[in-house]
């Protein structure tokens, strides 16, 4: 039976220390819940931190890489090499049962929008009020906000239970 996959999207090179810390803890909690972490797979920012967090708790990690020569996070178990740049963002969201967005930037925004288009639930972990208002206005049923990792996990449990 296919495993439950949680996509964690977020800022790359520009991630703040707090976003890195949040992503790391998210990875730990997702792994402890028995779910697989899916990310953009590169060796920076949220993608790297969430994967390292998951591995620190014995979890499994998938990285959907943009290029053949992308520098991969050392914490990826299953690298999927797309070689299609940001068009891979659509694969990230389609392959995830639910998505957490950690921080905000143009790449992350594209993933949230593609997720809504694909009718996937997205949990926003950002204090960017403009982003919160905009994405909630696009679809208030699919987009929610979490202020803490614990709250994000509780929301994921509800969302994923509904899908079964």
Interface contacts to a copy of itself, rule CB under 8 A: 1-3, 5, 36, 62, 64, 68, 72, 74, 76-91, 94-95, 104-107, 109-110, 113-114, 116-118, 128, 130-131, 133-134, 137-139
| Helix or strand run (H / E) with residue 102 | strand 98-102
Q: Phi and psi at residue 133, in whole multiples of 5°?
A: -65, -45
Q: Which is nearer to a copy of itself, 20 or 97 (CB)?
A: 97
Concatenated DSSP letters of 38-83: EE--BSSHHHHHHHHHHHHTT--EEEEESSTTPPBPTT-SEEEE--
Q: Which is nearer to a copy of itself, 25 or 70 (CB)?
A: 70
Q: Phi and psi at residue 145, in whole multiples of 5°?
A: -125, 140
d(Cα 93, Cα 39) in Å, to the nearest integer?
A: 9
Q: Which is nearer to a copy of itself, 49 or 101 (CB)?
A: 101
Rounded least distance, CB 63 to a copy of itself, Å: 8
Do 100 and 6 touch, CB atoms closer than 8 A?
yes
Rounded least distance, CB 46 to a copy of itself, Å: 15
Rounded least distance, CB 111 to a copy of itself, Å: 8
Rounded least distance, CB 7 to a copy of itself, Å: 11
Q: Which is nearer to a copy of itself, 14 or 148 (CB)?
A: 14
């Amino acid at each position: 039976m296919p495993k439950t996959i949680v996509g964690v999207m977020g800022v790359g090179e520009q991630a703040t220390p707090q976003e890195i810390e949040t992503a790391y803890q998210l990875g730990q909690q997702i792994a402890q819940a028995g779910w697989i972490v899916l990310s953009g797979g590169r060796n920076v920012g949220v993608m790297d931190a969430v994967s390292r967090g998951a591995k620190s708790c014995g979890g499994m990690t998938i990285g959907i890489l943009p290029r053949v020569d992308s520098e991969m996070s050392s914490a990826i178990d299953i690298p999927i090499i797309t070689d299609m740049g940001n068009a891979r963002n659509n694969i990230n969201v389609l392959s995830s049962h639910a998505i957490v967005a950690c921080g905000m930037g143009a790449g992350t925004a594209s993933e949230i929008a593609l997720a809504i288009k694909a009718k996937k639930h997205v949990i926003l972990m950002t204090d960017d009020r403009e982003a919160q208002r905009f994405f909630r206005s696009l679809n208030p049923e699919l987009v929610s906000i979490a202020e803490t990792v614990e709250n994000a996990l509780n929301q994921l449990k509800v969302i994923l239970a509904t899908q079964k």
